[in-house]
Amino acid sequence: MTRFAAPIAEQIWDMKYRLKESDGAVIDAKVEDTWRRIARALAESEPDQEERFYGALEDFKFLPAGRITAGAGTARNVTLFNCFVMGTIPDSMAGIFDMLKEAALTMQQGGGIGYDFSTIRPRGSGVKGVAADASGPLSFMDVWDAMCRTIMSAGSRRGAMMATMRCDHPDIEDFITAKSDAARLRMFNMSVLVTDDFMEAVKAGGAWDLSFDGVTYRTVQARDLWNKIMQATYDYAEPGVIFIDRINQMNNLAYCETIAATNPCGEQPLPPYGACLLGSINLARLVENPFEEAATLDYDALNDLVATAVRMMDNVVDASKFPLEAQAREAEAKRRIGLGVTGLADALLMLGLRYGSDEAAAQTETWMKAIARAAYLASVELAKEKGPFPLFDAEAYLASGSLTAMDDDVREAIREHGIRNALLTSIAPTGTISLYAGNVSSGIEPVFAYAYTRKVLQKDGTRTEEEVVDYAVQMWRDKFGDRELPDYFVNAQTLAPSEHVKMQAAAQPWIDSSISKTINCPEDISFEDFKDVYMQAYESGCKGCTTYRPNDVTGSVLSVSEEKAAPEVVAKTDSEPQHPHGDVVYISEPLDRPQELDGSTYKIKWPGSEHAIYITINDLVVGGHRRPFEVFINSKNMEHFAWTVALTRMISAVFRRGGDVSFVVEELKAVFDPRGGAWMQGKYVPSILAAIGGVIEKHMIATGFLAGEGMGLKSDPTADVVNLGARPGPACPSCGQFTMQMIEGCMTCASCGHSKCG
Quick: pLDDT tens for 94-139: 999 999 999 988 888 777 899 999 999 999 988 776 656 889 999 9
120 touches 169 (CB < 8 A): no
112 touches 84 (CB < 8 A): yes
Name, in order, each residue with C-beta under 8 angstroms of 23's C-beta and a sequence gap of 6 or more: none
Confidence of residue 592 (pLDDT cuts 50, 70, 90): low
Q: Please report the sign of the dihedral spanned by the C-alpha atoms of residue 505, residue 539, residue 425, residue 400.
A: negative
| Rounded Cα–Cα distance for residues 702 and 263 (Å) | 40
363 touches 353 (CB < 8 A): yes
Parallel/antiparallel/unpaired status of strands 586-587 and 740-743 = unpaired
Please give the pLDDT value at position 23: 83
Is the per-residue pLDDT at 581 higher than 50?
Answer: no
Cα–Cα distances in Å, from 292 out to 287, 352, 353?
11, 8, 12
Name, in order, each residue with C-beta under 8 angstroms of 502's C-beta and a sequence gap of 6 or more: 356, 358, 361, 540
Cα–Cα distances in Å, from 369 out to 10, 57, 173, 400?
33, 22, 39, 17
Q: Of 263, 282, 315, 520, which one is the catalytic site residue?
A: 263
Q: Each residue of 647-656: pLDDT tens digit?
A: 888 888 888 7
Q: Of 102, 257, 267, 445, which one is the catalytic site residue?
A: 267
Q: Each residue of 18-28: pLDDT tens digit?
A: 999 988 899 99
Confidence of residue 465 (pLDDT cuts 50, 70, 90): confident
Cα–Cα distances in Å, from 172 out to 29, 176, 224, 465, 594?
52, 6, 12, 48, 52
For residue 461, report the phi and psi dihedrals to the nearest 5 degrees.
90, -10
Confidence of residue 367 (pLDDT cuts 50, 70, 90): very high
Give mean pLDDT, residues 689-707.
87
| Rounded Cα–Cα distance for residues 498 and 486 (Å) | 22
Q: What is the DSSP letter of 88?
A: P
| Rounded Cα–Cα distance for residues 359 and 226 (Å) | 33
Q: Please report the sign of the dihedral spanned by the C-alpha atoms of residue 728, residue 743, residue 517, residue 240.
A: negative
Q: Each residue of 376-416: pLDDT tens digit?
A: 999 999 999 999 999 999 999 999 988 999 999 999 999 99
Please give the pLDDT value at position 184: 85
Q: What is the DSSP letter of 390?
A: T
Please give the pLDDT value at position 712: 53
Is the per-residue pLDDT at 722 higher than 50?
Answer: no
Highest mean pLDDT among 65-69, 107-111, 198-202, 461-465: 198-202
Q: What is the DSSP letter of 59?
A: G
Active site residue 267: yes
Among 19-33, 325-339, 522-536, 631-645, which is the least confidently predicted range? Answer: 631-645
Q: What is the DSSP letter of 410?
A: H
Taking alpha carbons only, the member of 135, 265, 82 closest to residue 188 is: 265
Q: What is the DSSP letter of 542?
A: -
Highest mean pLDDT among 168-182, 704-718, 739-753: 168-182
Confidence of residue 672 (pLDDT cuts 50, 70, 90): confident
Please give the pLDDT value at position 628: 87
Chain length of the chain:
758
Cis bond upstream, residue 239 (ω within 30): yes
Name, in order, each residue with C-beta under 8 angstroms of 621's C-beta and a sequence gap of 6 or more: 568, 569, 570, 580, 598, 627
500 touches 519 (CB < 8 A): yes
| Rounded Cα–Cα distance for residues 69 and 67 (Å) | 6
For residue 485, report the phi and psi dihedrals to the nearest 5 degrees.
-65, 140
Please give the pLDDT value at position 737: 61
300 touches 158 (CB < 8 A): no
- For 31-55, the DSSP string reads HHHHHHHHHHHHTTT-GGGHHHHHH
Taking alpha carbons only, the member of 465, 467, 443 closest to residue 744 is: 443
Active site residue 637: no
Q: What is the DSSP letter of 156?
A: P
| Rounded Cα–Cα distance for residues 238 and 690 (Å) | 29
Is the per-residue pLDDT at 697 higher than 80?
Answer: yes
Cα–Cα distances in Å, from 650 out to 572, 621, 629?
25, 21, 12
Please give the pLDDT value at position 159: 61
Active site residue 265: yes
| Rounded Cα–Cα distance for residues 392 and 291 (Å) | 45
| Rounded Cα–Cα distance for residues 734 and 754 (Å) | 7
| Rounded Cα–Cα distance for residues 588 and 736 (Å) | 9
| Rounded Cα–Cα distance for residues 347 and 367 (Å) | 11
Is the per-residue pLDDT at 429 higher than 90?
Answer: no
Name, in order, each residue with C-beta under 8 angstroms of 639's C-beta and a sequence gap of 6 or more: none
Among 464-473, 717-726, 739-748, which is the least confidently predicted range? Answer: 717-726
Please give the pLDDT value at position 572: 32
Please give the pLDDT value at position 605: 85
Question: How much is the CA Rg of the chain, to the nearest whole Å?
Answer: 26
Is the per-residue pLDDT at 319 higher than 90?
Answer: yes
Please give the pLDDT value at position 360: 98
Please give the pLDDT value at position 570: 29
CA 443 from chain centre, in angstroms, equals 13
pTM (two decimals): 0.78
Q: Of 167, 265, 542, 545, which one is the catalytic site residue?
A: 265
Average pLDDT, the chain: 86
Q: What is the DSSP letter of 14?
A: I
Please give the pLDDT value at position 726: 38
User: Is 553 strand, coil or helix?
Assistant: coil
Strand partners, 415: none
User: Is 146 strand, coil or helix?
Assistant: helix
108 touches 151 (CB < 8 A): yes
More confident call, 549 vs 741: 549
Is the per-residue pLDDT at 733 higher than 60?
Answer: no
Outline where 159-195 has alpha helix (H). 172-177
| Rounded Cα–Cα distance for residues 403 and 407 (Å) | 9
User: Is 620 strand, coil or helix?
Assistant: strand
Among 76-80, 294-298, 600-604, which is the least confidently predicted range? Answer: 76-80
Strand ranges of the sheet holding 278-282, from the earlier edge strand across to the other edge:
62-64, 278-282, 338-342
Give mean pLDDT, residues 24-43.
96
| Rounded Cα–Cα distance for residues 93 and 87 (Å) | 15
Confidence of residue 641 (pLDDT cuts 50, 70, 90): confident
| Percent of the chain predicted with pLDDT > 90 | 59
Please give the pLDDT value at position 75: 85
Cα–Cα distances in Å, from 407 out to 306, 370, 417?
17, 11, 16
